[in-house]
Amino acid sequence: MDLSSLTIKKLAQGLGEKEFSCEEMIGAYLGNITKNDKTINAFMSVFDKEALAAAGEIDALISRKEKLPALAGVPVAVKDNILVKGKRTTAGSKVLDNYIAPYDATVVEKLKREGAIIIGKTNMDEFAMGASGEHSAYGLTQNPNNPDYAPGGSSSGSAAAVSADMCLCALGSDTAGSVRQPASICGIVGMKPTYGVVSRYGLIAMASSLDQIGPLAKNIEDAKILFDIIKGRDKMDSTSCETGRELEEAPKEIKNLKIGLPEECSGRGIQKEVRDILEGSIKKLAGKGIKIENISLPHVGYGVSCYYIITPAEVSSNLARYDGIRYGMSKSGDELLDVYLNTRGEYLGEEVRRRIMLGTYILSAGYYDAYYLRAQKVRTKIIEDFRAAFKKVDLILTPTLPTLPFKLGERLNDPLAMYLTDLLTVPANLAGLPAISIPAGEAGGLAVGLQFIAPHFQEESLFSAANFFENEIAPRHS
């Protein structure tokens, strides 16, 4: 079975016309996992028995000629910081090595309701802190297209699993670009919705004001189908919101859209090969009649600095619960403080400890105003920059990453260089905006993605532009 060209619609068509059974299709994906994942290490756990049993139920529905749900038989991988009831969920950390999820995350519940088959949980940088897939306590993930290169992070396993045909699509979480960045590097589509449009209930928190669950897929159509299933208000998440009438409205005709090109995101600091692909794409868009306008986002260059003040502060608060007392792993000590120190020292990785210490310092007496409060003011400036820009243009186009993909180990001992990977993706998180990364080309055999950013709740326009780009500007042939 050729899994590389399979899409959600083709899968439904194939099942309906009995070109293959659901069990055969799931068996093919499980076979790919068995064959390839020993080296790629995309999966933390694979639910082979449950997946085949669920496939058998889909086949039974087909044999009875019953109506199939929207995602019937679609094999979906789920990042290991999103809860799946009864399954181990570690968030890539040894401190949760023995944690079994007591309930389904809202997004998982919605997928199951529509007939999706959860094929397994995917590897990730520990507690989503990383941009390379090298910070998991369970071993690094390889880029399936270029084994010497990092797959990006923190949703490294989800992106690698989709790219290597080990699932049809996947869920990840995006705090600074953790869906879009590995999607770009692995040559697939990754989308971050407007903050609050997708419920975070059942997502293990990293930075609660930034985290957002989003889909990874091989094409725009599949990403949109997945997004349409998981979006919506959830009473279990007080930060979730109604999708808004904007999401239900038909988008503008693509040729009536005006696309903004921020000068801060296409000049200094952008590697030449990446800039060449951006400029080539802009010429093609202009040749199709799309209006391109140069704009400015004056404070966007402070995004990474701002992010690495706000995020460690929220991390230090969110990760306080991993103390060896309430749940997860525990290491004994003579006194209560020893239990805390021994547990966290033993089971939390270096990058996680670094951010907890930074955050604790940032929030300590005498430093809150100097760091955290000032970073929040900069965040407001970045939001205002986007508001002003969207009065002039409908969408914003940037590279997803400022550089080409980097090799495994290349930035492991240089945290600052690793943090700068988020330069172009983090502003959308700080502003709560929807954004999508689309494959745009290759340089030296390495995938390069471009990113569209839209105003709040304008996912329909985002997908419309991305679909046009995929079909007219950078078409790919399987």
What is the CATH number that goes with domain 1-478?
3.90.1300.10
> CB–CB of 152/124 below 8 Å?
no
Question: Which of 93, 155, 156, 178 is the catalytic position?
Answer: 178
Q: Which of 259, 17, 235, 227 minimizes the C-alpha distance to 114?
A: 227
Question: Which of 136, 154, 316, 330 is the catalytic position?
Answer: 154
Where do we find the tokens 């995938």?
A: 447
Active site residue 79: yes
pLDDT of residue 404: 96
pLDDT of residue 254: 76
Active site residue 154: yes
pLDDT of residue 20: 97
Q: Which of 302, 305, 89, 309 minimizes the C-alpha distance to 209?
A: 309
Q: Which of 146, 112, 106, 141 minimizes the C-alpha distance to 125?
A: 141
> CB–CB of 429/192 below 8 Å?
yes
Q: Which of 20, 24, 28 minimizes the C-alpha distance to 3?
A: 28
- Strands 446-453, 395-399: pairing kind: antiparallel
Which of the residues in the chain have pLDDT under 50?
A: 477-478
Q: Where are the domains of the chain?
A: 1-478
Q: Which of 303, 129, 111 minimizes the C-alpha distance to 211?
A: 129
pLDDT of residue 247: 55
Question: Which of 21, 79, 110, 184 is the catalytic position?
Answer: 79
pLDDT of residue 251: 58
pLDDT in tens, 309-349: 999 999 999 999 999 998 899 999 999 999 999 999 999 99
Q: Which of 79, 223, 220 minimizes the C-alpha distance to 141?
A: 79
- What span, in angstroms and rounded, lies between the C-alpha atoms of 139 and 134? 7
For residue 214, which phi and psi values (nearest 5 degrees)? -150, 165
- What span, in angstroms and rounded, lies between the C-alpha atoms of 141 and 126? 12
